[in-house]
């Protein structure tokens, strides 16, 4: 197909803020997991698809299959909250006090919770 640019599962874009490898990154409605460290404005590679262990709000609780939202203010995954972006689904349970949740990314642009 002549008009295909690339697969799109990994994207290289300017970092919206300082990012570290493995950290969640939100650019507008595009959610990525950084593959490399980068300073704000520098190009970085980020994964748009796949399954990742991501930081979560300490009080958030997830069962397998629950929707996972990203809180851009705290830069952590959360249960549904106003202003948070739907980014994927939990693929393992994560309880109160846990620092991370296993997430299968949607791989599409995010939607903001009302």
Using 50, 70 and 90 to split pLDDT, how confident is the model at 86?
very high
Domains of the chain: 10-112 (2.40.300)
Helix (H, G, I), strand (E, B) or coil at 64: coil
Q: Closest Cα partner for 71 from 83, 55, 62?
A: 83
Please tell me the predicted confidence (pLDDT) of residue 82.
80
Please tell me the predicted confidence (pLDDT) of residue 5.
74
**Per-residue model confidence as pLDDT tens digits over 32-64:** 999 999 999 999 999 999 999 999 999 999 999
């Amino acid at each position: 197909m002549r008009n295909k640019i690339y697969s799109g599962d990994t994207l290289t874009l300017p970092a919206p803020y300082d990012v570290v490898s493995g950290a969640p990154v939100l650019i507008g409605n595009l959610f990525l997991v950084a593959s490399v460290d980068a300073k704000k404005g520098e190009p970085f590679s980020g994964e748009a698809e796949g399954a990742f262990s991501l930081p979560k709000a300490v009080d958030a609780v997830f069962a397998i299959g629950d929707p996972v939202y990203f809180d851009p203010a705290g830069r952590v995954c959360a249960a549904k909250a106003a202003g948070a972006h739907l980014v994927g689904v939990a693929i393992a349970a994560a309880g109160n006090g846990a620092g991370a949740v296993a997430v299968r990314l949607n791989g599409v642009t995010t939607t903001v919770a009302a």
